[in-house]
Structure 1
Amino acid sequence: MPSTPQPVTSPTNQPDPQYENVRHIVFGTLTAIRNTINLLHKLNYAEPNDWSKPLPTGRPNEIMVILTKRIRVV
């Protein structure tokens, strides 16, 4: 009985097992969040433009921002 050829999967279609996405969510005032984003930038952790736009939380003077970062896992 002839074997049925298996579909070829591209490496780009499969997740890289050495990397995972993590999501950071920061809540606070606009000033506190800007300071945190600037600090993480100075520490070479994330670029300021990598963060989401400020999103309202429904609480007075509080917003949130989200950063999704791909990190290497060992």
Structure 2
Amino acid sequence: MPKTFLYASASSEHEATSSSGDEPLKGPASDHRDKVRILVIGRPTAVNRVISEMSHVGFSDSIEWSKPIPTDRQRESMRVLTRYVFADS
């Protein structure tokens, strides 16, 4: 797995993000890190299959992804994975 990804537990993620969750990370625990969101959008069975395959190759664990979020299209949902990466200096 690429070493640029940082993993955070739910408690440390809360400490490292702003109240809105959309502002750049600040503070000693988050220096030089950026928040990145990865989206998978499609039919729920296809989305789950992609997430399962990503888990199988070691990219992410299935439990790291959000619960399915409906989109404005019928039979379509999305799931989100939030990661932190080292920022370019």
Give the TM-score normalised by structure 2: 0.61
Question: Could you give the per-residue CA deviations for residues 3-40 of structure 1, whole angstroms, max 9, x where no partner exists?
Answer: xxxxxxx733xx221x3221011110111101100111
Secondary structure of the structure 2 residue equivalent to 1:61: coil
- Max Rg structure: 1
Tell me, yes or no, if structure 1 residue 16 matches structure 2 residue 25: no
Aligned length in residues: 62
Q: Distance between the aligned counterparts of 1:56 and 1:49, measured in 2?
A: 18
Using the aligned pairs only, state the percent identity: 32
Q: Provide runs of 4+ in structure 1 moved above 4 Å.
A: none
Tell me, yes or no, if structure 1 residue 71 matches structure 2 residue 75: no
Distance 1:73 1:45, change over 3 A: farther
Paired amino acid for 1:67: L
Distance 1:40 1:73, change over 3 A: farther
Secondary structure of the structure 2 residue equivalent to 1:64: strand
Give the TM-score normalised by structure 1: 0.71
Paired amino acid for 2:35: N
Which residues of structure 2 form unaligned runs of 5+?
1-26
Q: Which has the higher contact order (CA 8 A, sep 6+)?
A: 1
Question: Could you give the per-residue CA deviations for residues 18-74 of structure 1, whole angstroms, max 9, x where no partner exists?
Answer: x32210111101111011001110111111011110011021110011110123456
